[in-house]
Amino acid sequence: MKLNKVATFAVAAAVMALGFVACNNNSEVEAQRTYSDEEILAAVTFAGQGGSETFNMLRTAPLPKIPILVVRVGRRSDWPDCPGFGICEVWIGPIQIWREVLDDPNYIILPYAEGKDLSNLHLLLAEQPGIDMRHILLPVDEDIVIRRITDSSVIEVGTIPAQDAHFRPGLGGYGGFELRVVPSEPVVKP
């Protein structure tokens, strides 16, 4: 009888251990789940992304010639449509040029200060994402030249090299991505 109790206890302990391992492995699989571009785009909102409240005042106010940074979300490898999750193009220019994209969720509109250090570009999330971001990468499929539009010319001010930017939970309130930028000597193209 005593042997029966020991055997029952041993079997119960083994079943509990297997259940714990199975649950533990299941959560690890969920943590490393891959998401499609569509799932990521549906779950993530960047600060300044078109349609957000950030630039509501700009829709009706007279627009000064303040410069802004415009980031087009999408995969550069599928130019010119740029579908998917990634960075397609980046421009700096007066806001009145970009008024038509203020409501477009494919664009991120950020304030830009003259002389701003462009060695890193931070794209912050506007709210808590709807997915686990630990393994999400923001792809830049190929080098992207950052151009600044002025009244009389277009100036190349830097390049975002092809890269996969890792999600950084400590950036801003909800995390974000930091893209490395290589500043360049200004090249003016009239």
Regarding whether 102 and 54 lie in a shared domain, the answer is yes
Is pLDDT above 70 for 61?
no
Is pLDDT above 90 for 29?
no
* 165, 138 contact by CB (below 8 A): yes
Distance CA 101, CA 149 (A): 16
- End-to-end Cα spacing for the chain: 95
Q: How many domains does the chain have?
A: 2
- Overall pTM > 0.85: no
Token pair belonging to 142: 């190929």
pLDDT of 1? 53
Q: Mean per-residue pLDDT for 70-99?
A: 86
Regarding whether 71 and 41 lie in a shared domain, the answer is yes
pLDDT of 177? 97
Regarding whether 166 and 120 lie in a shared domain, the answer is yes
Regarding whether 52 and 67 lie in a shared domain, the answer is yes
Regarding whether 75 and 14 lie in a shared domain, the answer is no
Regarding whether 179 and 104 lie in a shared domain, the answer is yes
Range of the domain at 16: 1-32
Regarding whether 141 and 73 lie in a shared domain, the answer is yes
Radius of gyration of the chain (CA): 24
Q: What is the tens place of the pLDDT at every residue in 131-142?
A: 999 999 999 999
Regarding whether 70 and 11 lie in a shared domain, the answer is no
Regarding whether 128 and 72 lie in a shared domain, the answer is yes
pLDDT of 125? 95
Residue 165, C-beta contacts closer than 8 angstroms, at least 6 positions apart = 137, 138, 139, 140, 177, 178, 179, 180
> Which strands make up the sheet holding 137-140, listed edge to edge?
120-124, 176-180, 163-168, 137-140
Regarding whether 116 and 23 lie in a shared domain, the answer is no
Regarding whether 98 and 62 lie in a shared domain, the answer is yes
Regarding whether 6 and 66 lie in a shared domain, the answer is no
Is pLDDT above 90 for 166?
yes
Q: What is the tens place of the pLDDT at every residue in 92-126?
A: 988 766 667 777 888 888 888 777 778 899 999 99
